[in-house]
Chain A
Amino acid sequence: MQLPPALHARLAGAPGSAEPLPVERDPAARTAPFRFAPRPVRFPREHDFFEEGDVQRHLYLQDVLTQVGGAPERPRVPEFTCQVAGCCQVFDALEDYEHHYHTLHRNVCSFCKRAFPSGHLLDTHILEWHDSLFQILAERQDMYQCLVEGCTEKFRTSRDRKEHLVMRHLYPVDFRFDKPRKSRGPVMPGAAEQVLAEAPGDDGVPSEVDAMEVCSEHVEPPPAPAGERRAYSHREMELVSFSCPRTVAQNLA
């Protein structure tokens, strides 16, 4: 298929087009038995016309996907240490370091040193755990924001939010990034409805489960100062611990 040589130049040229030739139709053109009429054609999803292209697409996907998933060959570099204060992790590949940094040091709460998988969760955490204004406002209005991005619902208590996450968003009941603040203070008489002790492990698996909460393993969270504890202890009684997590979790799985 020979293309006119000027065509490539035209492609590289300026936008625009020649003046269209005058259109002049004769009504005899569309009289029976002739039936041609120009019309743009539309094809829906499943139309056979798309078969070829779809097949080519899937051949391509097959090739791509067989290459995904295996650990890729990483260029090794001379060993180096993480430069963040207090961290002595050693690496010999840059990508490993990148992941380490983002996991442990990127979204870290400056108050309690807990690390979070995203800025969004970190912001929520700081607001709910370390912002005194939040606590005051929370007494009057719904302040606990749903954790799912895009959902604008807010709740009065973290327990209500948890219920929303489970019922509306099908989240696991033990979602690890929604731990309520652990109680440090004494039980206040007449405090919140729920006084369920937080079980050491949800279903018999020992406290490894708690240890898996994302927090820096090198720096212990500093104990809350006594004054703070007194002011917030009544809030901390909103413990959320489901007594039969295994059944619920199994139902969700």
Chain B
Amino acid sequence: MWSRQRGRLKPLCCGVEELRCRRREREAALRKARREQQLVSKRLLRDEALEEAEEGCVAMIFGEAEIQQFLRLAQRGTEEKEREGALVSLRRGLQRPETQQTFIRLEGSIRTLVGLLTSNQALLQLEAARCLHELSHSEQSAVVEACLPATSYLLTYLSGHSSDFIELCLYTLGNLIVESEAVRRQLLPQGIVPALAACIQSPHLTVLEALGYALSQLLQAKEAPEKIIPSASTDSSVLGSTLPQHMLQLLQPGPKLNLGVAVEFAWCLHYIICSQVNNALLITQGALSTLGLLLLDLAGAVQRTEDAGLELLACPVFRCLSNLLTEAAAEAVGGQLQLRDERVVAALFILLQFLLQKQPSLLPEGLWLLNNLTANSPSFCTSLLSLDLIEPLLHLLSVSNVVSVLVLTVLCNVAEKGPAYCQRLWPGPLLSSLLDTLAFSDTEVVGQSLELLQLLFLYQPGAAQAFLQQSGLQALQRHEEVAQLQDRVHALQQTALHG
């Protein structure tokens, strides 16, 4: 059963068209950032404009005197409600960068805040934590780094039991983690990895999702492949901790699987795996098996529900599986049922269909997995044929060049295994699809089509003949002068004409 916990949706106050436009802008900004390898910046995580648009009551800017007043009241007020109220006001004010700046420059302010954070007054603690959270969100390094004296306490509280409080500490830590390598250089020796490893045993979904987020930020750090992931490092090692095993457990399909939580940990796994530090270890811990079962479960979920967001989980699962399949260790466990189970192929196609409707830009990732599954596997190539999946595959040929190249590559994976396979590719729509792709101008698409044609001519009697009859030679002609294609075009022309 897939349960999605999202109880905090703010009411929409801008029109749908405006939202769409906003979203396109945000996408463009993110794409630019990724190309500059800046995708992990704090600024991008918090979408300023969206927030301002939704801000019902504008936070006030407080001056020194007012801040001091709030702090004094919070610390020494006689009435509990009064103390709490003072902190709430302060917290609201801290949403403004101006107030943040004033706050951190005030002597003793952080010290007092940390004092309140570690006090015995539970509600004051919570509000103090929220104040810290606001500061941790800031784009100004000075403001974020002012939170550093609190980190040892935030980490200590992760071993507590109050789920709301822990969740808040985790999101705050997540923001701090993203800030800079300097901040992480403090958090790592303070034991953030063992603290997370202990906290991941929490039964609370909100805590787990927050933890997954914080961990994913840690794993995405530039220095992660050298300093955070490998088990050779001492206390700061993710692979050396129990985190991977717990992550895999949280990704196991079943009634307890929660989408929000699974998304975070799937991304964590992806960052670990694509860093290529010790994937063999993950395989021995059952990563392939778990992810394979998760893929099946995802495909089932996609059929049952309109739930937004399943593609958010599909993407990292595709990536993890695809990369793991390239490991030598994967072949060793290839005997495991999951890797020969044709339900995996069925699941993948159901997901491809889903992506085609929902998020076509993610199709290449699914097809990448299909390539890695079929490349060296007669079993999966046979499944493609026996489950009648060639035609659906051909339908994807018009989506984009990248997609077309991948589709043709998968078809080549099948065809290169010999006559028994080519026989099953023939007759059918394959030839006319190939003639269509030969009309593309993209060199890579055409090149891959030529490779497939060669395999068909070689293994399937009558293929060359049929090709000629359908004006194949003319289709080839337009590429005769293209450098990367010439040789292959000529070779095919010869084969078609002279056998």
A interface residues (Cβ-Cβ under 8 A, vs B): 1-4, 6-8, 10-13, 15-26, 28-29, 32-46, 48-69, 71-72, 95-96, 98-100, 102-104, 106-107, 115, 117-121, 148-151, 168-172, 175-177, 203, 205, 208-209, 212, 214-217, 249, 252-253
Contact = CB atoms under 8 A, between A and B. Distances in A.
13 contacts: A10-B346, A17-B379, A17-B383, A34-B488, A54-B34, A55-B30, A62-B47, A69-B171, A103-B125, A106-B160, A149-B194, A151-B194, A253-B146
Given A29-B454, A55-B30, A150-B194, A62 B122 contact: no
A40 B153 CA distance: 46
B376 A40 contact: yes
Contacts of B343: 10-11, 13, 15
Nearest to A208: B75
B156 A117 contact: yes
A21 B417 contact: yes
Nearest to B490: A33
A204 to B, nearest CB: 9
Nearest to A42: B326
Contact of A41 (B30, B157, B316, B371): B371
Contact of A102 (B162, B213, B362): B162
Interface string B325-349: 1100000000001101111001101
Contacts of B368: 41, 43, 49
B160 A118 contact: yes
Nearest to A246: B111
Nearest to B157: A117
A52 B122 contact: no
Interface string B107-123: 01011100110111111
A39 B491 CA distance: 24
A170 B276 CA distance: 30
A22 B421 CA distance: 8
Nearest to B299: A11
B274 A58 contact: no
B227 interface: no
Contacts of A151: 191, 194, 235
Contacts, number: 346
B430 interface: no
A68 B388 CA distance: 46
User: Counting chain B CB atoms within 10 Å of each CB, which of A68, A100, A176 scores highest?
Assistant: A68
Given A40-B371, A72-B8, A95-B164, A148 B190 contact: yes
B122 A103 contact: yes
Contacts of A171: 152, 190
A57 B480 CA distance: 43
User: Counting chain A CB atoms within 10 Å of each CB, which of B164, B325, B361, B371 scores highest?
Assistant: B164
Interface in B444-463: 448, 450-452, 454-455, 458-459
Given A71-B130, A104-B122, A175-B152, A21 B424 contact: yes
A15 B376 contact: no
Top 8 closest pairs, chain A to chain B, by CB: A150-B194, A33-B487, A118-B159, A24-B418, A17-B342, A102-B162, A20-B378, A100-B122
A10 B296 CA distance: 11
B189 A169 contact: yes
Contact of A52 (B325, B353, B361, B491): B361
Contact of A12 (B23, B115, B300, B421): B300
Contacts of A12: 300
B499 to A, nearest CB: 13
Contacts of B75: 208
Contacts of B44: 58, 62
Contact of B488 (A33, A63, A205): A33
A51 B197 contact: no
Given A11-B299, A24-B419, A51-B31, A57 B325 contact: no
Contacts of A104: 120, 122
Contacts of B337: 15-16
Nearest to B115: A212
Contacts of A56: 311-312, 315, 359, 361-362
Given A25-B416, A102-B165, A149-B159, 20 more contacts: A2-B391, A2-B392, A4-B387, A10-B342, A10-B346, A21-B382, A26-B418, A29-B455, A36-B416, A43-B274, A43-B319, A45-B274, A53-B319, A99-B126, A102-B162, A103-B122, A103-B160, A149-B198, A150-B241, A208-B115
A69 B137 contact: yes
B312 A1 contact: no
Contacts of A45: 225, 271, 274-275
Contacts of B362: 52-53, 56
Contact of A72 (B7, B35, B341): B7
Contact of B340 (A17, A41, A50, A66): A17
Given A15-B337, A96-B122, A98-B164, A41 B322 contact: yes
